[in-house]
Amino acid sequence: MAQNNYKTNTQHSLPYSLEAEQAVLGCILISEEIANDIFLKLNESDFYASAHKQIYRAMQNVYVSKNAIDYVTLVSELETNQNLGEVGGVSYITSLTNTVPSSANYKHYCDIVLEKSKLRKISENSQRIVTNINYGASIKEIEQDISGLSTEIQKEIEADNKSFQTVAEEIKTELLDVMDNGYKPSGIPLGYKNLSQYLESFHKGEYYVVAARPSVGKTAFMLNILNDVSIKQGYRSLLFSLEMTKKQNTARIMANVGDYSSNLARMGRLPKDEKNKIEVAYETIKNAPIVICDKGGVTMNYIRNRAMQEKKKNGLDIVFIDHLGLISSSGENRTQEVGKISRAMKVLAKDLDVPVICAVQLNRSVETRENKEPQLHDLRDTGDIEQDADVIMFLQRLIPNTSLTNDDEISKRPTEIPYKIIIAKQRDGATGYIDFLFYPMRQKFIEKPKDKMKLIPMTNQEKEEIGDLFDNDKENNN
């Protein structure tokens, strides 16, 4: 296959070579001996075509399971993950072995794929600079963007050329420093003691997912984290709320900080001896470094530009997005579009050099199983979220939803609801779960003490609150 047959990009498309990507995949099928070398050289994100990303990921899964990578095992892996149809079916897998006569030139094909990947990154960053110009950025800001882009390219080159000995020396220095001066978390500390034993802190450049079915508590949990990092610790946060207004979010934040029922307060039924809590909450949060963007129907490009603008203007420590399913996209294939949005989340975290925490819905399958504990394959619309995220947390409510919404059972409604926060994936750490208690009237999550087992029934005033038990989400239940 001659190089001049590779597909080249037009003026308006990103650089890629479908033929080179096909050649790499074909080489792996022809000669498994070169698979490890290719896996070390290329990441899934280096492929442009969504189908090729999924095939490459499946090949890696087969390789990790210590099975031979061939037509049979690859098709089986794709079928297991229900991806075979999306990548073109059996006929397309078969065609890959016909794209190259042999695997002799696999390094050359890899170089082409890698080169196109780097060019796409440069193109995307350059487009961001053009967008900033169109939004009226100053010449100084544009120069900073260009300088930053040059620095990113140089860092990538240096990272590629960094020797094993250099990396080992850096690790030795870091470990000896910890031994001599004590351990210090490298990111934003968590306000939850037990959870921090798993996550340690929110690290710069990492993409965190908080996932659950609609109306389970994603927004409430994220706002609890926001309260801790911004109000208690003073880190500057930016919340993209694609569904709730600034007023709704702020009311929840105040109720959480003031430890009062937001619904009773809104209806004028808060006990008189608790009225001062509203004033205390206001005084506590009025100067908090929190920015809420509640514009609906935004695209990932808008989120990126808005976050970049905030960081340059005021500084930025952490980003919250509620939620991924409401981010607009132009494509008709929702699975592919969600995959692109998820990858953009990871890129956003790296480019901003801050943690990005995003709420994600789970699909219906978790409700139809006997075992209601969420699994990674329950992530809605795409498996790319599982691949892209550094940490995935599931919220599992341990009381059936029916017992919380039946009007005939109001007298039995608890004010204290047991939850599990499940660490289902952590790229650089352990997985497991932590027991929590949720107080829906105050929108507050706390880690459950070991002896805290009894559920407390509602007061008469709280029984009147049958509307907004959890998120007050108007999420689509589909």
- Residues that are catalytic: 243
- Contact indicator for 447, 436 with CB cutoff of 8 Å: yes
Cα separation of 348 and 307, whole Å?
Answer: 9
Show the tokens assigned to 337. Answer: 């579009």
The residue among 8, 5, 2 whose CA lies nearest residue 115 is 8
Query: Quick one: angle between helices 300-314 and 106-134, nearest 10?
Result: 70
Mark residue 292 as left, alpha or beta (left: phi above 0; alpha: psi -120 to 50; beta: remaining). beta
Q: Which helix (H) or strand (E) holds 387?
A: helix 384-388
Show the tokens assigned to 283. Answer: 């005084």
Query: Quick one: angle between helices 18-30 and 106-134, nearest 10?
Result: 150
Tell me which residue has tokens 């470094």. Answer: 289
Residue 223 — φ and ψ, nearest 5°? -70, -30
DSSP letter at 215 equals T
For every residue of 52-116, DSSP letters joined together read: HHHHHHHHHHHHHTT---SHHHHHHHHHHTT-TTTTTHHHHHHHHTTS-S-STTHHHHHHHHHHH
